[in-house]
Amino acid sequence: MQSLLWLLCQLDNLYYTDLASYEQQWQEVVEQVEILFPGFTIAHAEIYTEGEERISTGSMRHVLLPKKGT
């Protein structure tokens, strides 16, 4: 299996360039994540900096996210 970071970066790229391929790739990555990391899934989230100011970086990225209630 490709590294999780690489797969998430691929989803980031496909989201803006090829939505048809993105949907299929997204489903495959979610299935792999749920097997390897039970209780987690993939989310597409706006990224903010840490700290008191919490400044938006203006970017959206795919991230690993705990499922609600687990």
State pLDDT tens for residues 2-60. Answer: 798 999 999 999 998 998 899 999 999 999 999 999 999 999 888 777 767 766 666 78
What is the pLDDT at residue 68? Answer: 85
- Domain-wise residue ranges, the chain: 4-66
Provide the pLDDT for residue 10: 92
Question: In whole angstroms, what is the distance from residue 16 CA to residue 49 CA?
Answer: 23
Q: What is the pLDDT of residue 53?
A: 73
Output the pLDDT for position 16: 87
Please report the pLDDT score of residue 55 as a whole number: 66
Q: Which residue has the higher pLDDT, 66 or 1?
A: 66
